[in-house]
Chains A and B, each alone.
Chain A
């Protein structure tokens, strides 16, 4: 190795260019995509690999794909070793085990050649609107007991050959999905975005030469590994454990135990083991190991070294395991379409354990989220509609700061405006407001839960609900109180009927569904809260006077 030959300035130029290529790949994809997940939720990833499939640079997009991308590219290379690849090829795959844990995420891996030599790969993923299967969106949880009900499974195929998309494969895919025009648009957008990144990567190789790039790659991987090890070594050595429960995985089912044991060795390595969690369940909510790993790595980065550029190097010191056949490492064909709901809970569990090692970094549990779909045939147009919604509420309190109100938790999504929903779907939003007194009390209060009431204007529709924390409260830390439970009600102003957090329900015109998210957990004892902060909460209505009396022992009229 002639690593010393690279001067720091050339290295800076190369590394910055690699990150810029990965970022630009992502913005191109986002701007042309049809899928709400891609454009609003940044539910995609982009990356650059060396010729052996090691991750060198990645855009700052979905954490869920961060840890999945290296494994995915390795599987693609297993099916298509370099000697079988030619310039102009691109590989398509979406297998839950090989990729990011459910079928809607399609990955495209494009080998990059310069003068007939393979110099690396560019890759991107995108959450498609639909991949077929039991329900629109391919994420139905309850009643789906094996992957084969979840739609089209694509093992690695040569989707592009000699620069031409294989129309036969495209037809096969589009024949199996609900919104073929959108899926087609997004598959093409992925390919176009990869192409432009490949061009820039070729230019980088032309500018600096393959030898310099190879040396730079080794330095990039080593440095990022060293930086991560240094951050991990700063965490007190020991094993930290935490357990929490998901409510259930559908009506008439029991809780899922989420347990994690995290061992910091004090020398720069960490192992996260989810083996004590429940077994895989017969509902589409299991977390394949790539997905478990992705969010475990995300959590470690957040707590230890958030803004470091991502490479294979800084993933090396992090080991994520789970017992085979368990909820966090199921075997094919375990169903997994709705696993997105787990990202908060993987983070919450790790956060609970980390609180013992890094109390100043940990926060009370999130107020969870709800992700209902209301769909049917629009009376006005005769066309199908799907109102895909996201309700996102507060963060837990942490040392020195109340939990942020209404901010996207682990996954990073925008909500969808009320006026946009009402323009496109036969529904009317009746309310969107904080629920006072739901944030866990504490020296640093948890954020409030959020209420969203939706009325159906169409003759009929089907609601597929996806929520949690109706039974197990978001925990508080260090004496902070848990957030209030969430609930879902049908027709809250009349004969209110409770709805299950993962149930499917028929709705008729005039029905109102009230989604009420749990509050987030508090941090530190409520008795320690600054009276001025209590007074401010009352003035702003986050806490009622009655709530302040009950939760904080507040005395009316006393300053």
Chain B
């Protein structure tokens, strides 16, 4: 069986094709075509088929991750959107949660709402928190609201009424009336999109779904058509933010679920690589040109958050738009190859400002004038100036050195080596702080985790970072530069359905819990049954719980099996386990409250074997050699072995200091560490104990 995966990113579209019978994989990268993303897809597929000598009709599955939904929000290029709310609550979306993301800055702006106030209209109706009707839906007010939206040319409408998570009847009646009057209009209901309490977050999620719906619908429709014309017989699958696949139909109805499509596939890849290396707990570390992203896989399962933010300002928590749909847990910070270094108060500071890809680092020679992390890594000898991106681009070492001396060395009275080292170290420290948030602060003991490092710059900083927090092993997978596409290849169809039902979790809670999961199962089946799967889904249950009076919930994995008499006891036990792990203490006297509930259905992935083994290798001669590289443990620049990864055989062992090069990433092995190639073809670095600087 042949599967093809492609991930459309901002700069490149990555492809991987895997033939399950011959166990061969082919990787490809082509420039993205933002004006018409399908163009790069078709172009790449044609090349890939030539490479693999297959035809479109041979392909069993096509799997896809895309940034089209994200970009529509980031660039505010969504459709003309209207919002219908409960009378008296027109301003919920604009008021937001009101907290400044920077306490000491009173000049900040709030994120631009996706729907301007003039297009937010009210209807007379009211529900209570149990879903009871306090005031019936008033038809006259509804028609008046629809009149206003139609008159102003709205193409898509979001409906978010107070407490609609507890009773969808009024929202459904509104949709029916809208479609009666304007059959073509796209309608998104909060009770469908994100039926959980907290009206601002639900309104924003629903508005975002409505805002991107026409664009995503159109995009997927075109892609399907183009693939059909090329002779694909089978269905396309789309990656969701939760790391599971959905059908194009569901993605069109709920485009908000595919916002973090690419990053989710990256974390999934981390899980797959970890499993191949016998690691159930991994931290994924993806460092690219502008940012670094950290994710986690616990017990073999990518960590999922019930909510996330998009459109951050300076990567500050609370500065973006909250989206209440499950997504892989990711922390993104402004530390990438292009992050700019400067002097502040006599110290080195790095990022979050980035030179991006254009003009890029000084060494690209495209007009960049500020020294970046990439410039420092070049000067430190970690990057080969003549073999960047597999030799496709020559780097200007002298210009990088001059830039670093001017901006950092001279003001701080440092020589070039220490100045460049300072940039590298500060960048690593910034990532260390983020890594502490992902690990220690979430109750994850770094000593039990392996780090999967990928992205162009990740493997250069990974060993240093792992050492700083006590992670014993770094794994640099094969194809580190196209990690997301590989993750896609092994993804499985998955549906997450959630709701809010606030209740005290005590011994009597069993029947109420059974009730909630009964409802969730009905909703989940409506979606999972759309997949044409021979195997039944696997189910898992989760609750978001806290002690009564607390404001933050802990995610609790609830037991499988029938919800019988002692289910509540087992749920309490599960809460205790999860709470203890995260917060390191329990309060046996406090009452437990459950807030949100999630049911997850997963179908088996079509992919049984690993796509990463047996990578096709070119028959080029090994590029081994040496050059000076900076290791403070060794006192500065030392002649360092350079090793061509493609030429490394399984079982080969390399003691640091060493630099291992691949066309799309470079791995730095520190003194005291030992790297080897695993049977699955991954580079595994055993992190030694701290060596005094």
Could you tell me which A residues sit within 8 Å of B by CB distance?
Answer: 7-9, 11-13, 15-17, 20, 23-24, 27-28, 30-34, 36, 39-40, 42, 60-63, 179, 181-182, 185, 188, 192, 219, 223-224, 227, 298, 301-302, 306-308, 363, 392, 395, 398, 401, 404-408, 410, 412-415, 417-420, 422-423, 428, 430-434, 450, 453, 539-542
Q: Does B162 contact A (CB under 8 A)?
A: yes
- Nearest to B87 among chain A residues (CB) is A431
Kindly state the separation between the CA atoms of A32 and B584 in the bound complex, as whole angstroms.
10
CB distance from A194 to the nearest CB of B (A): 14
Of the residues A15, A307, A415, A541, contact of B97 by C-beta under 8 Å:
A415
Q: Does B179 contact A (CB under 8 A)?
A: no
Q: Which residues of A contact B94 (CB under 8 A)?
A: 405-406, 434
CB distance from A181 to the nearest CB of B (A): 6
**Cβ contact within 8 Å between A422 and B129:** yes
Q: How large is the interface on B (under 10, 10 to 19, 20 to 34, 35 or more residues)?
A: 35 or more
**Cβ contact within 8 Å between B103 and A60:** yes
Of the residues B107, B421, B587, contact of A9 by C-beta under 8 Å:
B421
**Cβ contact within 8 Å between A223 and B345:** yes
**Cβ contact within 8 Å between B551 and A419:** no
- Nearest to A422 among chain B residues (CB) is B129
**Cβ contact within 8 Å between B91 and A406:** yes
Given A431-B89, A540-B118, A419 contacting B198 (CB threshold 8 A): yes
**Cβ contact within 8 Å between B88 and A408:** no
CB distance from B596 to the nearest CB of A (A): 12
Chain B residues numbered 73-106 whose CB sits less than 8 Å from any CB in chain A: 88-92, 94-100, 102-106
Task: Provide a sorted-by-A list of 16 A–B residue pairs whose CB atoms are within 8 angstroms.
Answer: A7-B414, A8-B348, A8-B414, A9-B348, A9-B425, A27-B437, A32-B550, A39-B552, A63-B104, A188-B585, A406-B91, A417-B197, A418-B92, A423-B197, A423-B502, A434-B91
- Nearest to A14 among chain B residues (CB) is B347
| Binary flags per residue of B102-121, CB closer than 8 Å to A gives 1, else 0 | 11111111100000111000
Q: Which residues of A contact B116 (CB under 8 A)?
A: 540
**Cβ contact within 8 Å between A539 and B98:** no
**Cβ contact within 8 Å between B95 and A432:** yes
Of the residues A9, A224, A434, contact of B345 by C-beta under 8 Å:
A224
Kindly state the separation between the CA atoms of A307 and B106 in the bound complex, as whole angstroms.
11
**Cβ contact within 8 Å between A542 and B117:** yes
Kindly state the separation between the CA atoms of A423 and B502 in the bound complex, as whole angstroms.
8
Q: Which residues of B contact A450 (CB under 8 A)?
A: 91, 95
Given A406-B96, A420-B198, A428 contacting B134 (CB threshold 8 A): yes
Kindly state the separation between the CA atoms of A94 and B162 in the bound complex, as whole angstroms.
41
CB distance from B305 to the nearest CB of A (A): 14
Of the residues A20, A302, A422, contact of B104 by C-beta under 8 Å:
A302
Q: Which residues of B contact A181 (CB under 8 A)?
A: 587, 589-590
Of the residues B118, B346, B433, B502, contact of A20 by C-beta under 8 Å:
B433
**Cβ contact within 8 Å between B103 and A63:** yes
**Cβ contact within 8 Å between A419 and B345:** no
Kindly state the separation between the CA atoms of A34 and B546 in the bound complex, as whole angstroms.
10
Given A61-B103, A301-B104, A433 contacting B91 (CB threshold 8 A): yes
Q: Which residues of A contact B589 (CB under 8 A)?
A: 181
Kindly state the separation between the CA atoms of A306 and B106 in the bound complex, as whole angstroms.
9
**Cβ contact within 8 Å between A31 and B103:** no
Given A8-B414, A39-B551, A404-B109, A431 contacting B88 (CB threshold 8 A): yes
Given A9-B414, A9-B425, A406-B91, 12 more contacts at CB 8 Å? A8-B414, A11-B347, A12-B426, A24-B437, A27-B441, A33-B550, A36-B551, A185-B547, A406-B95, A412-B99, A419-B197, A423-B129
Kindly state the separation between the CA atoms of A62 and B100 in the bound complex, as whole angstroms.
12
Given A406-B91, A406-B95, A31 contacting B583 (CB threshold 8 A): yes
Q: Which residues of A contact B128 (CB under 8 A)?
A: 422, 428
**Cβ contact within 8 Å between B412 and A406:** no
Q: Which residues of A contact B583 (CB under 8 A)?
A: 31-32
Of the residues A306, A410, A415, A453, contact of B105 by C-beta under 8 Å:
A306
CB distance from B144 to the nearest CB of A (A): 15
Kindly state the separation between the CA atoms of A60 and B583 in the bound complex, as whole angstroms.
22
Q: Which residues of A contact B107 (CB under 8 A)?
A: 398, 401
Q: Which residues of A contact B425 (CB under 8 A)?
A: 9, 12-13
Of the residues B118, B129, B421, contact of A541 by C-beta under 8 Å:
B118
**Cβ contact within 8 Å between B91 and A9:** no
Of the residues A24, A432, A541, A542, contact of B88 by C-beta under 8 Å:
A432
Of the residues B106, B346, B429, B587, contact of A223 by C-beta under 8 Å:
B346
Q: Does B418 contact A (CB under 8 A)?
A: yes
**Cβ contact within 8 Å between B90 and A12:** no
CB distance from B431 to the nearest CB of A (A): 12
**Cβ contact within 8 Å between B550 and A42:** no
Q: Which residues of B contact A408 (CB under 8 A)?
A: 98-100
**Interface centre among B100, B347, B547, B585, by most A CB within 10 Å?**
B347
Kindly state the separation between the CA atoms of A31 and B553 in the bound complex, as whole angstroms.
9
Given A16-B429, A63-B103, A9 contacting B422 (CB threshold 8 A): yes
Of the residues B103, B197, B426, B550, contact of A16 by C-beta under 8 Å:
B426
- Nearest to A23 among chain B residues (CB) is B433
Kindly state the separation between the CA atoms of A179 and B549 in the bound complex, as whole angstroms.
11
**Interface centre among B88, B116, B583, by most A CB within 10 Å?**
B88
- Nearest to B105 among chain A residues (CB) is A306
CB distance from B500 to the nearest CB of A (A): 8
Chain B residues numbered 399-438 whose CB sits less than 8 Å from any CB in chain A: 412-414, 418, 421-422, 425-426, 429, 433, 436-437
Q: Does B286 contact A (CB under 8 A)?
A: no
Of the residues A227, A415, A423, A540, contact of B117 by C-beta under 8 Å:
A540
Q: Does B199 contact A (CB under 8 A)?
A: yes
Of the residues B100, B117, B584, contact of A192 by C-beta under 8 Å:
B584
Q: Does B232 contact A (CB under 8 A)?
A: no
Kindly state the separation between the CA atoms of A43 and B552 in the bound complex, as whole angstroms.
16
- Nearest to B550 among chain A residues (CB) is A34
CB distance from A182 to the nearest CB of B (A): 6
Of the residues B89, B106, B110, contact of A433 by C-beta under 8 Å:
B89
CB distance from A186 to the nearest CB of B (A): 10
**Cβ contact within 8 Å between A404 and B91:** no
Q: Does B163 contact A (CB under 8 A)?
A: yes
CB distance from B81 to the nearest CB of A (A): 15
Q: Does B200 contact A (CB under 8 A)?
A: yes
- Nearest to B88 among chain A residues (CB) is A431
Kindly state the separation between the CA atoms of A63 and B103 in the bound complex, as whole angstroms.
8
Chain B residues numbered 474-491 whose CB sits less than 8 Å from any CB in chain A: none
CB distance from A509 to the nearest CB of B (A): 15
Q: Which residues of A contact B104 (CB under 8 A)?
A: 60, 63, 298, 301-302, 306-307
Chain B residues numbered 488-514 whose CB sits less than 8 Å from any CB in chain A: 502
Q: Which residues of B contact A423 (CB under 8 A)?
A: 129, 197, 502
Q: Which residues of A contact B90 (CB under 8 A)?
A: 433
Q: Which residues of B contact A30 (CB under 8 A)?
A: 552
**Cβ contact within 8 Å between A12 and B348:** yes
CB distance from B546 to the nearest CB of A (A): 9
CB distance from B343 to the nearest CB of A (A): 8
Of the residues B100, B102, B200, contact of A417 by C-beta under 8 Å:
B200
Q: Which residues of B contact A434 (CB under 8 A)?
A: 91, 94
Kindly state the separation between the CA atoms of A42 and B200 in the bound complex, as whole angstroms.
20
- Nearest to A222 among chain B residues (CB) is B346
Q: Which residues of B contact A412 (CB under 8 A)?
A: 99-100, 103
Kindly state the separation between the CA atoms of A423 and B440 in the bound complex, as whole angstroms.
33
Kindly state the separation between the CA atoms of A413 and B318 in the bound complex, as whole angstroms.
12
Kindly state the separation between the CA atoms of A27 and B440 in the bound complex, as whole angstroms.
11
**Cβ contact within 8 Å between A414 and B98:** yes
Q: Which residues of B contact A24 (CB under 8 A)?
A: 436-437, 440-441
Kindly state the separation between the CA atoms of A39 and B585 in the bound complex, as whole angstroms.
18
Kindly state the separation between the CA atoms of A224 and B344 in the bound complex, as whole angstroms.
11
Kindly state the separation between the CA atoms of A230 and B690 in the bound complex, as whole angstroms.
40
Kindly state the separation between the CA atoms of A395 and B118 in the bound complex, as whole angstroms.
21
Q: Which residues of B contact A192 (CB under 8 A)?
A: 584-585
Kindly state the separation between the CA atoms of A351 and B599 in the bound complex, as whole angstroms.
52
Kindly state the separation between the CA atoms of A434 and B200 in the bound complex, as whole angstroms.
15
